[in-house]
Amino acid sequence: MVASLVYSVVKRVRPVKAWVTRRVSMRAVLGWHMYAGLLGAILGLLHTGHKFDSPLGVALTAAMLVVVLSGYVGRHLMKQIALDVNEKKELLTRLESVYRQTAGDLAAHPEQAALVRPWSGFWGRLAAAVSHLFPRTAPAPHPASVRALELAESMADLEYAIKTDETFRWWFGFWLRVHVVASVLMYALLALHVWADIHYGLRWFA
């Protein structure tokens, strides 16, 4: 657990960071931080012996688990959400490019663009969805109009998905604060735990 503090020192103390980064990358230091913290948590759970008779021990174990979980959220879940958002934005950019080209084709043929208007809006799209179940009774629109509607639906779905992911990122943006506060609390409880063991458990040696 003490070894896991190396990353916090390197990250926040500039002279130490300059000296360390000349030899190893911050990514390697972060990996040390993660694995040392995970190993410390495993050893901490083994140290409890599955006995939670002490309120201090229970509080320390709970704080330790919050630190591990918040670190996992920040390292893996937030990274995955960010990658998903970037991929969706790239796909949305490509769809917008194809949509502009399709809209240009429809603008050049007003009679074809008129085929799209009955299917616009909520009720129009609902009617279009129902009409696909009965292809013989539905008019056969121009392929460009079909492509425009499909592109519009795909773009709307992507925009909604991106907005949802951004909302998750905003909520999970508190992970670092939770991680830092929980870490400070955990180390304070750890110091108190060590002091209690020495004071009540080892002083009889004297």
pLDDT tens figures, 20-56 = 888 888 888 988 898 999 999 999 989 888 777 788 8
Residues composing the chain? 206
Q: Where are the beta strands (DSSP E) in the chain?
A: none
Q: What is the pTM of this model?
A: 0.58
- The candidate with the shortest Cα–Cα distance to 59, out of 185, 196, 191, 157, is 185
109: phi then psi, degrees, rounded to nearest 5: -130, 85
Which residue ranges of the chain lie beneath pLDDT 50? 133-134, 136-142
Q: Where are the beta strands (DSSP E) in 20-78?
A: none
Helices 26-48 and 55-72: angle between axes, nearest 10 degrees: 150
- Whether the CB-CB separation of 145 and 106 falls below 8 Å is answered with yes
